[in-house]
């Protein structure tokens, strides 16, 4: 006596389609969960980095009597930086001052009048750099000036929020030179009032993004433009100079 096995019933297409949809939904939910967690972690790390950055800036202080330096470099971005650098120079801090990144249309005469500095100070001890287009350009322009004069200790005058990136770029361009920070402060970052100031908050966030990208670039060894006006135009870089035209 033989026993015949009944053939299996065919799986209905509707059931197969439903199972596939359920699997896709599970994968989608799992992927969405991973993306959400990753985004939350990334935002948390960025926030921690930002507040660590602001804490670092808040701790920067301009000493009343800077240590002995060879010269001063002021990175343009506001006359307050230049005023401070000129005041230090007139007090006998350093032998010379480089004002880096000045617009080519701004003459030495106009700059002196705008700052109210003594003519004798400009005549003897101030060099104006017209080549730098950005912070990398400031560093490269300063490096050329340092090599020309054989300096080894430089006082850097710029805004406090700009100082970390400036020191990093300057050290990259001139690794054998000691750079000393002399920050110009606009906002007191030790209080929380700056968090309610949209201009200060936006400035700090933009600078933190630039600083983070600069660190990533240096870590990766990526090449970048020199930031010099002459290189951008395919011309020979012009040395920092005095101009009274």
pLDDT of residue 60: 76
The rounded distance, in Å, linking the Cα atoms of 137 and 145 is 12
Question: Coil, strand, or helix at residue 153?
Answer: strand
The residue with tokens 């967690």 is: 37
CATH superfamily for domain 71-186+222-233 = HUPs (3.40.50.620)
pLDDT of residue 182: 93
Q: How many helices (H) and strands (E) does the chain have?
A: 8, 5
- 151, two tokens: 């300096």
pLDDT of residue 3: 53
Cα within 13 Å of Cα(53), Cβ side: 23
Closest CA to 81 of 143, 148, 169, 161: 161
| Contact criterion met (CB below 8 Å) for 164 and 181 | no
Residue 29 backbone class (left: φ over 0; alpha: ψ -120 to 50; beta: rest): alpha
The rounded distance, in Å, linking the Cα atoms of 23 and 226 is 53
The rounded distance, in Å, linking the Cα atoms of 109 and 50 is 40
Query: Which residues of the chain are under the pLDDT cut of 50?
Result: 1, 11, 242-245
pLDDT of residue 46: 75
| Contact criterion met (CB below 8 Å) for 207 and 165 | yes
Closest CA to 244 of 110, 79, 144, 142: 110
Whether the CA torsion 57, 54, 177, 170 is positive or negative: it is: negative
Q: Is this structure's pTM higher than 0.85? A: no
- 178, two tokens: 């000691």
């Amino acid at each position: 006596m033989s026993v015949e096995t009944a053939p299996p019933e065919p799986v209905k297409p509707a059931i197969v389609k439903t199972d596939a949809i359920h699997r896709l939904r599970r994968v989608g939910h799992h992927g969405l969960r991973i993306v959400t967690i990753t985004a939350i972690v990334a935002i948390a790390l960025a926030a921690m980095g930002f507040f660590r950055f602001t804490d670092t800036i808040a701790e920067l202080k301009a000493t009343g009597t800077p240590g002995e330096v060879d010269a001063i470099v002021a990175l343009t971005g506001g006359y307050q930086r230049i005023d401070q650098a000129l005041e230090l120079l007139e007090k006998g801090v350093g032998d010379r001052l480089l004002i880096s990144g000045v617009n080519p249309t701004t003459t030495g005469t106009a700059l002196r009048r705008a700052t109210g500095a003594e003519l004798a100070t400009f005549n003897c001890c101030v060099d104006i750099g017209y080549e730098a287009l950005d912070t990398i350009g400031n560093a490269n322009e300063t490096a050329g000036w340092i090599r020309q004069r054989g300096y080894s200790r430089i006082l850097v005058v710029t805004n406090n929020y700009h100082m970390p990136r400036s020191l990093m770029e300057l050290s990259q361009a001139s690794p054998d030179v000691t750079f000393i920070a002399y920050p110009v402060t606009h906002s007191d970052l030790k209080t929380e009032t700056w968090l309610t100031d949209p201009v200060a908050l936006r400035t700090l966030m933009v600078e933190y993004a630039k600083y983070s990208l600069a660190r990533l670039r240096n870590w990766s060894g990526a090449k970048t433009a020199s930031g010099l006006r002459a290189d951008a135009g395919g011309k020979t870089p012009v040395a920092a100079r005095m101009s009274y035209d």
